[in-house]
Amino acid sequence: MGGTSGHLECNSYTFIRSVITAASRSESRLILRLWVTTLGVVALLAQAGQAQRPAPSHSTYVIVHGAWGGSWDWHLVDSLLTRRGHHVYRPSLTGLGERVHLASPTVGLATHVEDVVNTILWEDLKDIILVGHSYGGMVITGVADRIPERIHRLVYLDAFLPDSGERTLDLADSIGVTYIRPNIRDGFIVPPWVNDRSAIPRDVPQPLRTFTDTLRLLNPAARKVPGVYILTVESGKEPDQFQRFADRAAARGWPVRRLTADHVPERSAPLALVNILTEVR
């Protein structure tokens, strides 16, 4: 751009000098005034064009947390994305996080899908990047089946990537998650780390139905929504439990990204996670 502008200015002044030297008639003076005015307009337009260059595109992220957790766990990731100009929504699923007072054995996977669908519809969000962490992969799959037209991209973060007819409990069994079945009590899954009820915020018991409800996918349009899989792998702990679902994603032709972190990168590697999230837009 700079070289072209300099060449234009040089030719313009050469032309003006030739007009002044060659003639003094009133017609030449009129042409000179018109040319100088034109140069001024061109310069102003060039400056305006630079000032009005479109800002870098920003995205809207809807982040769905995993089992036992809540939106509180994603505050730092939210802040980092927001500082980069993005918009972030972090719905807490019914019975979890700050909505723990709504916990009930009747809360199922369909309830959590409805939580996220309603967030998107009532906030009138469009062209979103829908992120599901761990169990959240079940939820965002159900959401995509309901409102695929609202979703720009799905991001599965070390998450279950289910097919129609599958249940969270069976998928957890398939990757060797052994602490779920022994900790089922009174309609909830209560692993040892959620027994401390004094801390706030904290992980809380997970309604069992969210793991035993069968996911039914009925909308063919949902298969057209592009996705990305982010597999977190702890150093020295390969193969990773969720590799099976990363392989499913790859079989669909989706990119698979690896992140060196434990299963909760929102805590252990938030900046690295945000860097990947902004790259997969």
List, by residue number, the catalytic residues. 134
Report whether 65 contacts 92 (CB < 8 A): yes
Dist. CA 116–CA 215, nearest whole Å? 15
Dist. CA 58–CA 151, nearest whole Å? 15
H/E segment holding residue 121: helix 109-122
Strands 188-189 and 184-185: antiparallel
Residue 188: φ, ψ to 5°: -135, 155
Dist. CA 278–CA 76, nearest whole Å? 15
Closest CA relative to residue 111, chosen from 217, 209, 218, 216: 209
Tokens 């089946």 belong to residue: 145
The pair of three-digit structure tokens given for residue 251, joined into one six-digit string: 């079989």
